[in-house]
């Protein structure tokens, strides 16, 4: 992987508002991303289209949070409400290798991906394979309760505010 690709994948300065950066350490997350501080869990619930631009924004938020907190936290991605997926193998491979390299040497974390769409499941499994042997332990689930059990959190904490804990 060339450095050029890493820059294209994640530019920490891209899309930032300098005024927001000056606020007293405030971490502004995206509308579909939340950090549950009490259980140290980053939750990403994409809605509608999932493409490279959307993933890059979440990647920026994730890496900013990692830098700010300096302590490990688990991740949960709930792709059930994603309507369309515009990703490709090349991007998923670059993304996974970028995460593998950028998180090397850090404490282990779990990343649970809830997916019911066959394309999303396929990309999630590819990401899991490519991060094997790194501190990022990725598993794909099609049942929310199983993801909650693996993460060690109450299933209610993984449900979106407007849905049940199916």
Q: What domains are there in the chain, each with its CATH number?
A: 3-9+29-158 (3.30.750.24)
Strand, coil or helix: 7: helix
Rounded to 10 deg, the angle between the 89-102 and 52-69 helix axes is: 10
How far, in Å, CA of 133 to CA of 91, rounded?
Answer: 20
What SS3 state is found at 131? coil
What pLDDT does 131 receive?
Answer: 98
Q: Can you tell me which residue has the tokens 């502004």?
A: 28
Matching residue, tokens 């924004």: 57
What local confidence, expressed as pLDDT, does residue 29 receive?
83
The predicted-structure confidence for 17-70, as pLDDT tens digits, reads as follows 433 433 333 355 889 999 999 999 999 999 999 999 999 999 999 999 999 999
Q: In Å, how far from its chain's centre is CA 48?
A: 16
Mean pLDDT for all residues in the chain: 85
Phi-psi region of 25 (alpha: psi -120 to 50; beta: other; left: phi over 0): left
pLDDT tens digits for 87-130? 999 999 999 999 999 999 999 999 999 999 999 999 999 999 99
- Rounded to two decimals, the pTM is 0.82
**Which has the closest alpha carbon to 40: 103, 108, 91, 87?**
108
Element (H, E) at 9: helix 3-9
Of 95, 24, 23, nearest to 62 by C-alpha is 95
């Amino acid at each position: 992987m060339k450095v050029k690709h890493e820059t294209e994948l994640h530019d920490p300065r891209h899309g930032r508002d300098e005024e927001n950066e000056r606020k007293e350490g405030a971490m502004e997350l995206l509308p579909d991303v939340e950090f549950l501080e009490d259980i140290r869990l980053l939750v990403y619930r994409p809605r509608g289209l999932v493409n490279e631009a959307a993933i890059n924004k979440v990647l920026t938020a994730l890496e900013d949070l990692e830098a700010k907190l300096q302590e490990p936290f688990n991740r949960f991605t709930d792709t059930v409400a994603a309507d369309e997926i515009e990703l490709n193998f090349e991007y998923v491979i670059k993304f996974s290798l970028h995460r593998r390299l950028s998180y090397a040497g850090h404490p282990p974390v779990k990343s649970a991906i809830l997916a019911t769409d066959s394309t999303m499941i396929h990309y999630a499994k590819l990401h899991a394979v490519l991060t094997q042997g790194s501190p990022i332990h990725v598993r794909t689930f099609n049942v929310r309760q199983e993801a909650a059990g693996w993460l060690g959190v109450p299933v209610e904490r993984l449900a979106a505010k407007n849905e049940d804990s199916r």
